[in-house]
A and B are shown apart, each in its own frame.
Chain A
Amino acid sequence: MSHSFDEISQQLKRRHRKSARLKWISMGALGLAGLFLVLFFADMLSKGLPAFQQAYINTEVRYTEEASRDGRLAFEEELLPLISRTVVRVIPLQLRNNPEMIGTSEQRWMLATSEVDQYLKGHRNRLSDEEKAEIDERVAAGQVDLRFNKTFFGSGDSKIAENAGILSAVVGTIMTMIVTLLISFPIGVMTAIYLEEFAPDNRFTQLIEININNLAAIPSILFGLLGLAIFINFFGVPRSSPLAGGMTLALMTLPVIIIATRTALRSVPDSIRHAAFGVGCSRWQVVRDHVLPLAMPGIMTGSIIGLAQAMGETAPLIIVGMVAFIPDVSASFTQAATVMPAQIFTWSGEPEQAFVEKTAGGILVLLSVLISLNAFAVVLRKKFERRW
Chain B
Amino acid sequence: MQTNQLLLLFCTVLLLLGLVAFFVGRAKAARVRASGAAMYAQPDQYAWFAVLSTAGPAVLVGALGSLLLLLLGADIPPMYLLAASLVVAAAGLAVGVAQVKPHFHARQAIERVIRWVLTGAAMISIFTTFGILFSIISEALRFFQMHSFWEFITGTTWNPGASFLAAAGRGDGSGAQFGSVPLFAGTFMITAIALLVAVPIGLLSAIYMSEYAPQRVRTVAKPVLEVLAGIPTVVYGFFAAITVAPIIVNIAGFFGLDASYNNAVAPGIVMGIMIIPFISSLSDDVINSVPDSMRQGSLALGMTKGETIRDVVIPAALPGIISAALLGMSRALGETMIVVMAAGMRPNLTANPLEDMTTVTVRIVASLTGDQEFESAETLSAFALGLVLFVVTLTLNLVSVLMIRRFREKYRVNNL
Listed in ascending order, the chain B residues whose CB lies under 8 Å from chain A are 70-71, 107-108, 110-111, 114-115, 117-119, 121-126, 128-129, 131-132, 134-136, 138-139, 200-205, 207-209, 211-213, 221, 224-225, 227-228, 230-235, 237-239, 241-243, 273, 276, 280, 304-307, 309-310, 327, 330-331, 333-337, 340-341, 361, 364-365, 368-369, 374, 382-383, 386, 389-390, 393-394, 397-398, 401
Contact = CB atoms under 8 A, between A and B. Distances in A.
Nearest to A252: B128
A148 interface: no
Interface of A: 15-16, 18-23, 25-30, 32-34, 36-37, 40, 43-44, 47, 186-187, 190-191, 193-195, 198-199, 207-208, 211-215, 217-226, 228-230, 233-236, 251, 254-255, 258, 282-284, 308-309, 311-315, 318-319, 321, 323, 341-342, 344-345, 348, 356, 359-360, 363, 366-367, 370, 374
B204 A229 contact: no
Nearest to B209: A30
* Main DSSP-derived SS at the B contact region: helix
Given A194-B118, A208-B126, A226-B132, A30 B239 contact: no
Contact of A211 (B129, B200, B211): B129
A344 B361 contact: no
A313 B237 CA distance: 12
B119 A194 contact: yes
Contact of A230 (B117, B131, B280, B382): B131
B118 A32 contact: no
B304 A345 contact: no
A233 B138 CA distance: 13
A236 B337 CA distance: 27
A198 B114 CA distance: 10
A194 B122 contact: yes
B239 to A, nearest CB: 6
Contact of B242 (A194, A220, A356): A356
A145 to B, nearest CB: 27
Contact of A312 (B202, B232, B310): B232
A284 B109 CA distance: 11
A13 to B, nearest CB: 11
A257 to B, nearest CB: 11
A27 B212 contact: yes
25 contacts: A28-B204, A30-B208, A190-B121, A191-B124, A195-B122, A213-B397, A218-B390, A219-B333, A219-B393, A221-B365, A221-B386, A222-B132, A222-B334, A226-B135, A229-B138, A234-B71, A254-B124, A284-B111, A315-B233, A318-B340, A321-B369, A341-B337, A345-B337, A348-B237, A367-B235
Contacts of A29: 200-201, 203-205, 208
